[in-house]
Structure 1
Amino acid sequence: MTRKSKYSECSQSGEGCPVEYTLEIIGGKWKGVLLYHLMDGKKRFGELRRICPDITQRMLTLQLRELEEDGLVHREVYRQVPPKVEYSLTEYGRTLEPLIQLMKEWGETHRRVRPEVYVAP
């Protein structure tokens, strides 16, 4: 997968901003949510669709494929009829668990601090 070739300089070393690198991999509306739900263990495609009903099938496929290409998610295909596919975090993906957990906790706090921002569906 090709990434942006130039990131904004974030330090005197002239290297790109590490936050940009991280957001390049897990940014967007769905990747963090998918990683969060995969922290609980293996999930099938249909389970992820039920957990995230607002994501389209195409977007779910795309996001899982990108997470797999980045080495964060493992896709296991079982040779059976009907075919069975399970997704799980790789060991490398599990290194994001503390970050995802902190995001969850911050979101819970933010929802309490700023309840007017959140409207029930």
Structure 2
Amino acid sequence: MYERKMEEDLDCGIRAALKVFGGKWKLCIIDAIKRGIVRPVEIHKSIPGSTLRVIEMQLADLFFFGVVDRETEEVYPKKTEYRLTELGSSILPLLSGIDNWGNAHADYVKDKAGELQRSFIR
């Protein structure tokens, strides 16, 4: 089992937030749940480029940290749905700000991302 050699400094607010919300799809997952998409398969379908396995792993992390709550019906096939907790809902104003920034600068970011991709091809 992996053991950290150095203790994490979670006294820093940014590092603490990244411990909970850092991850390739976690903010997208929270956004999907906010929009009413609550089943893992549907969350996966709403995030292009994601894999169901990673979505499920990140949902497990968010559940562990109390950001989402899950409800499972013991039917066949098993039906699991996720909801934001009060803690999870507290990130929504920041998520909205990030979304607004991304929408305002999307063209610039797309251009730069294309340049970056082309620089790796050479």
Query: TM-score, structure 2 length as denominator?
Result: 0.79
Q: Deviations over 1:10-36 (max 9, x none)?
A: xxxxx8321111111101211111111
Q: Tell me which of 22, 43, 67 is aligned to 1:72.
A: 67
State the match for 1:116 in structure 2: 111
The alignment yields a C-alpha RMSD, in angstroms, of 2.3
Partner of 2:87: 92
* Runs of 5+ unmatched residues, structure 1: 8-14
The count of residues paired between Structure 1 and Structure 2 equals 111
Alignment partner, residue 101 of structure 1: 96
Higher helix share: 2
State yes or no: 1:47 paired with 2:57.
no
Q: CA deviation at 1:114?
A: 4.0
Distance (Å, rounded) in 2 between the aligned partners of 1:6 and 1:46: 33
Residues 59 and 65 of structure 1: CA distance in aligned 2, closer, same or farther (over 3 Å): same
When normalised by structure 1's length, the TM-score is 0.79
Higher relative contact order (CA 8 A, sep 6+): 1
TM-aligned CA distance change 1:57 to 1:20, over 3 Å: same
Q: What's the CA shift for 1:79?
A: 2.1
User: Counterpart of 2:7?
Assistant: 5
The 8 Å contact of residues 71 and 92 in structure 1, kept in 2 or not, is answered as: yes
Local SS of the residue matching 1:85:
strand
